[in-house]
Structure 1
Amino acid sequence: MPTLAFDTSAAHCAAALVMGGRLCAQRHEGMARGQAERLVPLLEDLLAEAGLRWHDLSALAVGVGPGNFTGIRIGVSAARGLALALGLPAHGITGFDAFAPGGDTLVTLPAPRGRLYVQPFRDGRAEGPPCLTDPAAPAGLPHRPVYGIGGSALAQTLGVPVTESSWSGIAPAIARVAATRPAPPDKPKPLYLRSAGAALPADPPPVILP
């Protein structure tokens, strides 16, 4: 049965359709903004390319981060709304799970200011929570091969091999992971690993009168 996956956690709008373990169609459009307006039309184009309709789907999957705050909210909100309207399960898949190849590894994703999001995996399963680290001075990370995006500097620091992925493969990877999992009991939730970049206002909040 077809699984439709999409991701807006970085500067892109990406989607893929997987059926029976086979990639049927995919789209990846780079964009710094505008994902909210583009996502649903892109999904409809993808379904039309595969000759399917919304009610032909068996499941949805969405990238829950880490990444851009607004982009993650757009993707997760769309997945929840579509799942409710179509009566489908919606899987929330982290970028770490999407790019993890199996075995004992470190999976990386780019973070602001030259830092990295990192999560260790053992035997293909997450080992401990992800963290935000400086690739030039990582602390407490095991020496394992590095996979994912942007991990070259970390691999050089640790003296381990690195295999770089690209954002163009995020949606197919999310779809394939979701297709191997049972229907989730909970709705997708964003994965945030840092505080929001917006500064709090300096003026005191207004007094609300009774």
Structure 2
Amino acid sequence: MPPDALILGFDTSAAHCAAALLRGDTLLAMAEEPMAKGQAERLIPLLEEVLAAGGHGWGDLTALAVGTGPGNFTGVRIAVAAARGLSMGLGIPAIGVTTLEARAHGLPRPLVVAEDARRGAFYVQTFGPDTPARLAEDIPPGPQHPAVFPIAEAIARVASLRDPSGRPAPFYLRGADAAPPSDPPPVMLDVG
């Protein structure tokens, strides 16, 4: 990625709609709105607001950066689908970044990142040299560090360090909460 790349990062993997516009290492604009639902309707207008606040338009972008989860099943799908569609329409790459990578960005290593997965569970990932993946109950407690950057800014910063090839894909660690209907499907009758 060029050092002065203009990257629009965004995330809807949790109870928020977040976006940040980054040129190189400089944050130009950012917004994050807490919301339990409504991300699908709010995301594109929020992205347009962040672009305008940063003094740019869609055609100025070098790349998109999107949060791929883990997180809310529907929220992850909203952001990833938007990134893929915008990428195709604008002819620029979309780069996927996990929530755990974004939370770890800028923190000292080795590091263990734990994110609330609700229902008494956590998503856990280790980062840094000589830190193999381990079960959460085997990880010794250590100092706690808050994330250095807000989520959308961190996603854009991580993406700026990546090869822009490939397509973002949802990163799910468990299935959707919704279940298919238990009613039998309708039966088609031939009345001819």
Q: Give TM-score, length-normalised by structure 1.
A: 0.80
Alpha carbons of 1:127 and 1:176: their partners in 2 closer, same or farther (altered >3 Å)?
A: farther
CA shift for structure 1 position 102: 4.5
- Paired residue for 1:41, among 36, 42, 45? 45
Specify the alignment match of 1:105 in structure 2.
Answer: 111
Within 2, Cα distance between the matches of 1:108 and 1:208? 50
Specify the alignment match of 2:66 in structure 1.
Answer: 62
Gaps of 5+ in 2: none
1:74 and 2:55 are equivalent in the alignment: no
Alpha carbons of 1:55 and 1:127: their partners in 2 closer, same or farther (altered >3 Å)?
A: farther
Specify the alignment match of 2:147 in structure 1.
Answer: 165
Specify the alignment match of 2:181 in structure 1.
Answer: 201
Within 2, Cα distance between the matches of 1:102 and 1:63? 22
Aligned residues of 1:102 and 1:123 also touching (Cα < 8 A): no
RMSD: 2.3
Specify the alignment match of 1:123 in structure 2.
Answer: 129
| CA deviation string 1:122-164 (max 9, x = no partner) | 239x855xx9x7xxxx34x4x4xxxxxxxxxxxxxx3322113
191-200 vs 91-100, greater mean Cα deviation: 191-200
| CA deviation string 1:149-202 (max 9, x = no partner) | xxxxxxxxx332211339x81000001111111212x21100010122123433
- Paired residue for 2:157, among 176, 183, 203? 176
Within 1, Cα distance between the matches of 2:185 and 2:118? 30
Within 1, Cα distance between the matches of 2:29 and 2:48? 12
Q: Percent identity?
A: 52
Q: Give TM-score, length-normalised by structure 2.
A: 0.87
Aligned residues of 1:36 and 1:74 also touching (Cα < 8 A): yes
Within 1, Cα distance between the matches of 2:151 and 2:29? 13
Specify the alignment match of 1:146 in structure 2.
Answer: none
Specify the alignment match of 2:6 in structure 1.
Answer: 2
SS at the partner of 1:32? Answer: coil
CA shift for structure 1 position 108: 1.4
> How many correspondences in the alignment?
184
SS at the partner of 1:38? Answer: helix
Return the structure number with greater relative CO, CA threshold 8 A, min gap 6: 2
- Paired residue for 1:91, among 87, 91, 95? 95
